[in-house]
Each structure stands twice: as structure tokens, then as C-alpha cells.
Amino acid sequence: MNKFFDYGDSEDIPQWFHIKARDTTIYIPNGKVITFWLWGDSEQHIRELLNKKSYKDIEWIKPIGDTLPFV
């Protein structure tokens, strides 16, 4: 575990995550803050996916579970 950030020591259970982050491909150069849901194995997996894309300034990543709240 990192000294400054708790990425969680939970097991890798595939589930939905609710994310709020800045997408820098929208409204270049500053980007736009958006919220969205993403399926992944763990929070670390979600962070790796976000780093591959152009999402910066991740405000939060919340694990939701197997079903989305609006379904």
C-alpha cells in the first residue's frame, strides 16, 4: 500500500465503479469534468484504464457492486 493513497487491499472482484474525472479530449486544453460508470476487476485496474485514456485529475472512484443503482 502506498503511504499517501489507500488503493485498497480488497480482492479483485469484478464490479462497477462510479468515477469522476477530467477528460482532456473535451474542451481542449483544459478538459471537462465528467462522471461515469466503468466495469473493472479492482480500483487499481480502473486507474490503469483511466491512465491509458486521457483522464486526469481523478476526484473519486467509488465501488458500486454488481448492479448499477439506476437499473
Asked if pLDDT for residue 5 goes beyond 60, the answer is: no
Number of domains in the chain: 1
What nine digits make up the cell of 16? 462497477
DSSP string, 47-61: HHHHHHTTEEEEEEE
DSSP 4: S
> Residue 32 belongs to a domain with what CATH number?
3.10.20.730
Among 38-42, 52-56, 67-71, top mean pLDDT goes to: 38-42
Domain annotation covers residue 10? no
Residue 69: the pLDDT is 84
Say how far apart CA 50 and CA 55 lie, in whole Å: 6
Structure confidence by residue, pLDDT tens digits, 6-53? 555 555 789 999 999 999 888 888 889 999 999 999 999 999 999 998
Say how far apart CA 67 and CA 70 lie, in whole Å: 8
- Structural domain of residue 22, as residue ranges? 15-65
Predicted TM-score (pTM) of the model is 0.76
Structure confidence by residue, pLDDT tens digits, 17-27? 999 999 988 88
